[in-house]
Amino acid sequence: MFNRPGTDSTENQARRRVQRRVPKPADLAPLMQFKKFDFNASRRRLAAALTIEDLRTIAKRRTPKAAFDYTEGAAEGEFSLARARQAFQDVEFHPAILRDVSEVDTSCEVFGGPSALPFGIAPTGFTRLMQTEGEVAGAGAAGAAGIPFSLSTLGTTSVEDVQAANPHGRNFFQLYVMKDRQISYDLTERAAAAGFDTLLFTVDTPVAGARLRDKRNGFSIPPALTIKTIANAVPRPWWWYDFLTTPPLEFASLTSTGGAVGELLDKAMDPSINFEDLETIRELFPGKLVVKGVQTVEDAKKLAGLGVDGIVLSNHGGRQLDRAPVPFYLLPEVVREVGDDLEVTLDTGIMNGADIVSSIALGAKFTFVGRAYLYGLMAGGRPGVDRAIQILTDQIVRTMKLLEVASLDELQPKHVTQLQRLVPRTTG
């Protein structure tokens, strides 16, 4: 629009009102403060990671495909894992207002002992394959953060070495019941003797799940050198250097190694596992007995009647039965049915501290993180695990403050709505 002669536009009037001047050096000084450059590339990478997904990106770049896919992958079409992660994303929070949250308390009690945060490190197999520090890095980082560390039967570090890496912290042992029962019994007694205070009796692995990524990659323990693996190793020499210059990769709890992952699991697992095995382990282990891999309300109720100390709602990270129940969806009903009788905990799909807060709000006493921890391990060894724990911690604290709750005990179902995508069809 043209201005009439003798008139002035609003824009021109505004320009005349703004006083301009030549900037003084003193004015520029606050703007010229550059962050000190860190010459340590690993520290720079980890400091730039703001989410677990950021750590995953670094991990994928630095880890050979077969090892990364073993961590990342799940069974068959990987629907169980995708649905578990989607369930956490399909959450609506309901914050309170005008509450004092200048300080928040993230500590809790689980399985008879303290934890500084409402999550611990889940048991993972073949951990030194992902990064040579393996379980020692995980246990040390967990101890420093004041959270529990869980060692897998298929771990690559012995119970004694994990105890040495985390001498003053809490260590849990995850037990598979094997075809040779005496191996399982001996491991149970070793864990007790090493001071592990909780045993995670795992019930969702009568046989190995069909982990198709591993089969397609020809994934084996130890890794087989083929033209394909050598080609994949070229841009990742640091991984192979660590692998070849550190003690041989072996399963600290198994006497037989070598072969495809599925074959090893099938040798170790036993489809005849039953409730009598649970009772036998209960007699052998003096600490807390927790059943890991519960996937129905009915089984949770049965276990509550048997006097176990707790359960882990879990579909094994989607790595066993594909299209399995989503633990986060099961949580509210299981807590209503058995929450007064045993401690209900949760794993599978957790990638953000908000996922943990959601779980606690819906009644979980505690949660476990697996892949989130391993992404940190692959991204940077022990410092990477520390970074993963810090990222989740920051997210938990921030989410609690934005919900305006000052402690975990204040989190209630009213703070969370589970939005629905997959709803069972009814037939008339």
Show which residues are catalytic.
316
Structure-token pair, residue 384? 């990477």
Specify the 3-state DSSP secondary structure of 310: strand
Angle at which helix 353-361 crosses helix 327-338, to 10 degrees, equals 30
- How far apart CA 136 and CA 157 sit, in angstroms, is 7
Q: Cβ(108)–Cβ(115) under 8 Å?
A: yes
Q: Cβ(71)–Cβ(371) under 8 Å?
A: yes
Q: Pairing relation of β-strands 119-121 and 366-369?
A: parallel
Q: Cβ(170)–Cβ(116) under 8 Å?
A: no
CB count within 10 Å of CB 348 equals 31
Residues in Cβ contact with 354 at an 8 Å cutoff, skipping those fewer than 6 apart: 88, 91, 93, 395, 396, 399
Q: Cβ(332)–Cβ(362) under 8 Å?
A: yes
Virtual torsion, Cα 233, 236, 238, 244, nearest 10 deg: -10
CB count within 10 Å of CB 283 equals 9
- How far apart CA 380 and CA 48 sit, in angstroms, is 12
Q: What does each C-alpha distance from 363 to 116, 291, 312, 337, 394 come to in angstroms? A: 18, 17, 13, 11, 21
- How far apart CA 402 and CA 51 sit, in angstroms, is 18
- How far apart CA 221 and CA 94 sit, in angstroms, is 47
What number of helices (H) and strands (E) belong to the chain?
19, 14
Specify the 3-state DSSP secondary structure of 324: coil
CB count within 10 Å of CB 189 equals 13
